């Protein structure tokens, strides 16, 4: 049972635990007293997972190798934008930026308020939208609706009920021109989306084996 002196270790770092996940903080740092961008991302991710395990679905952020694999399959047309679903603490966002996608062409949708505040502070040039991906059409500035070149999805699609999945995919393809890809990663051996039921063509594009756990990236189009 946690006491005032209890400690826990995550990714090799020690944290003081004071009775609940919400009140835990890295030793010597109070997240409440500092800018959101200065919070330890591994700890923030873990805290938000503890508060909402179904939505966050993983206790650690994605590995850089998974971000790079996704970034390799992103279109880079001058008149299009990239939209990332579920930014978390920005593991995939960073890989997208490092791959050369301009911050001004990257939009991230995150529905967790703390993670949204962190992402906004951490990636000042990126547009981080607070909301649910099912509302992508109304969240995006109107001039970019229909001009999304790739959606890079970091939300756990495989865990989402069929009807909600259908709504998310219908809205995703409503903001993309025909033939554009919806990228999704999964820890499963099978497709995270039911291709036939959702009228999708899709295939596995590769594995990021050094991710914990190993993750596969899938690419989907809808005619
Ligand atoms: C598995 S985490 C991935 C975070 C990050 N992309 C990564 O790979 O490390 C899923 C993220 O999606 C967010 N999320 C889940 N469902 C969402 C939804 N319907 N709309 C917006 N964000 C969502 C969660 O808050 C969480 O930050």
Residue count (the chain): 223
Per-residue b or e along 32-47, where b marks 16 or more CB atoms closer than 10 Å to that residue's CB: eeeebeebbbbbbbbb
Which pLDDT score, from 0 to 100, does residue 11 have? 38
Q: 115 CB less than 6 Å from ligand 1?
A: yes
Per-residue pLDDT of the chain (223 residues; tens, 9 = 90+): 333 333 333 334 443 333 333 333 443 344 444 678 888 999 999 999 999 988 888 889 999 999 999 999 999 999 999 999 999 999 999 999 999 999 999 999 999 999 999 999 999 999 999 999 999 999 999 999 999 999 999 999 999 999 999 999 999 999 999 999 999 999 999 999 999 999 999 999 999 999 999 999 999 999 8
CATH code that applies to domain 64-221: 3.40.50.150
What pLDDT is attached to residue 38? 87
The pLDDT score that the predictor gives to residue 26 is 40
Q: What is the model's pLDDT at position 121?
A: 97
The domains of the chain are located at 7-54, 64-221
Predicted structure pTM score: 0.86
Which atom of ligand 1 is least distant from the CA of 84? 6
Closest alpha carbon to 56 in 82, 87, 16: 87
Ligand 1: centre distance to CA 100 (Å): 23
Q: Which atom of ligand 1 is nearest to the CA of 52?
A: 25
């Amino acid at each position: 049972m946690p006491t005032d002196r209890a400690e826990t270790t995550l990714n090799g770092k020690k944290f003081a635990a004071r009775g609940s996940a919400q009140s835990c903080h890295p030793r010597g740092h109070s997240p409440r007293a500092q800018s959101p961008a200065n919070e330890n991302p591994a700890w923030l991710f873990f805290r938000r997972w503890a508060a909402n395990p179904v939505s966050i679905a993983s206790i650690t952020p994605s590995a850089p190798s998974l971000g790079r694999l996704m970034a390799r399959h992103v279109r880079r047309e001058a008149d299009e934008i990239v939209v990332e679903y579920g930014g978390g603490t920005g593991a995939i966002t960073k890989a997208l930026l490092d791959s050369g996608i301009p911050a001004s062409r990257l939009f991230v949708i995150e529905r967790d308020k703390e993670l949204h505040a962190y992402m906004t502070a951490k990636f000042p040039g990126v547009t981080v939208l607070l909301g649910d991906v099912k509302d992508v059409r109304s969240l995006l500035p109107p001039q970019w609706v229909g001009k999304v070149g790739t959606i890079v999805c970091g939300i756990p699609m495989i865990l989402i009920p069929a009807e909600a999945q259908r709504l998310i995919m219908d809205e995703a393809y409503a903001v993309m021109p025909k033939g554009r890809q919806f990228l999704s990663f999964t820890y499963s051996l099978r497709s995270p989306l039911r291709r036939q039921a959702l009228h999708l063509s899709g295939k596995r594009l590769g594995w990021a084996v050094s991710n914990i756990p190993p993750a596969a990236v899938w690419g989907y189009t809808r005619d």
